[in-house]
Chain A
Amino acid sequence: MTNEEIKEYISAHAPNATFEETGEWLNIIIEAAEWKALATAIKGNPLQMDFVFCLTCVDWKTHLTMVYHLTSTKQRHNIVIKANLTIDQPQIETVAGIWRTAEFHEREVFEMFGVHFSNHPDLRKLILEEDFKGFPLRKDFEDPINMIKL
């Protein structure tokens, strides 16, 4: 599918989505509330986005951005979906039920960025200790003992 067709399809399902085509792949910026419905829609026909190859978060100091890199193993088109979250209460619907790889990646983002994934089946810390305070990959994270500033 061409980018135009993808745009058309996504606009139908997420009316507030904006697009950006400067990078390598089509970037789609959506609202966090629309994500779950859109995810369900793009997983099925005709887009068949069945493979999340990267799921991460970016800290912009003022807000967080969830970044989902998706591809279709059948049609080989890639899209990048982004959703901005507030820094105080970052919350987004989980997609672990749609793409099972998201379960682990969301747990990683949860502990590293503090993004809360609602309805996640098992939202616990995966890498850090249970009683770890703070979110290490956020820009404002400070650890005077273990961190060496260059």
Chain B
Amino acid sequence: MFSLEGITTATQDWLLIKFNPTIALAIECVIVILLSISLFALLGLVLVLMERKVAARIQIRLGPNRVGPGGIFQTAADTLKLIMKEGLTPDTADKFLFNLAPFIVMMVAMLLLAPIAFAKNFQIWDINIGVLYISAISSLSVIGILMAGWASNNKYSLLGAMRSGAQIVSYELSAGFAVLTIVVLTGSLQISEIVAAQQNGWWLFKGHIPVIIAFVLYIIAVTAETNRAPFDLAEAESELTAGFHTEYSGMKFALFSLAEYINIFIVCAIGATLFLGGWMPLHIGHWEGFNHIMDYIPSSIWFMGKTFFLIFLIMWFRWTFPRLRVDQLLNLEWKYLLPISLFNLLLVTIIAIMGWHF
């Protein structure tokens, strides 16, 4: 049966036969880097196209349909255009920080890819503090955004960056608490163990209502953390023209928008891993036949399916809701989401200690 695990093991065995272990490791590193970069490019293309198609579907229109069959090469053509465009740097901008910012945002997104389990035993780095690593790294992207807003020397950018700072710092808390509920239930920070703990059922189903609440909180918080509508105040097109990336053009702008989509992918992947069982197939109690059929679907497809379902959910939000106001956004977090998540964490802890979950 096809599996990514088989391919990786075969590659590693072959490399170890041909080269000495150090060189083999170096070659593996290069392969991983190349693979993650191409995954980035591919995800960027696919997600932008998906967003446009989803938007078109919601807005009773067709969406891109000229370049390639069904418009599938539209984003490739757009990327080509963006590469060819001149990357302007404003005269009054802080040139070093201005040019650095998109790369920081991009690098943060890349670093986040490391602990994600894409399929059974297919993971770049199964670090034992995986969840902690993700929470720590994902907060860094706000530095890139603040840098971009400040260095642009533009009032819209500055306002956007400040909003983004306030927003990410506050919503980080809720997202963190939502993630903690699963850590409490599993008793481990390691991604592979969290997935393994969902062998007999996803946490969303096993963990009673508190986990469902945590899941909802997580989705709201990460939508805000990735600056997506209805929380896209950092870009707030109608208010701040384009917020923190007003002054960016060409490929530098593309990097911001790529990072945004990669961030969506990553938070959805983490959501799928924590709440929906990662690459684990759907198993229902003692239905042996059903469970067997589900096992035949490759684990990578399970993972991608769940992730893309969550991505679709977040896109659905964007094309349905109006934007919140900045004070409403912060009120929502500090007055509602945070107390709820704290109380919810307490409930989950009680459930975990008493062993009430399935």
| A–B touching in complex (CB under 8 Å) | no
Q: Chain B interface (Cβ within 8 Å of chain A)?
A: none
Q: Chain A interface (Cβ within 8 Å of chain B)?
A: none
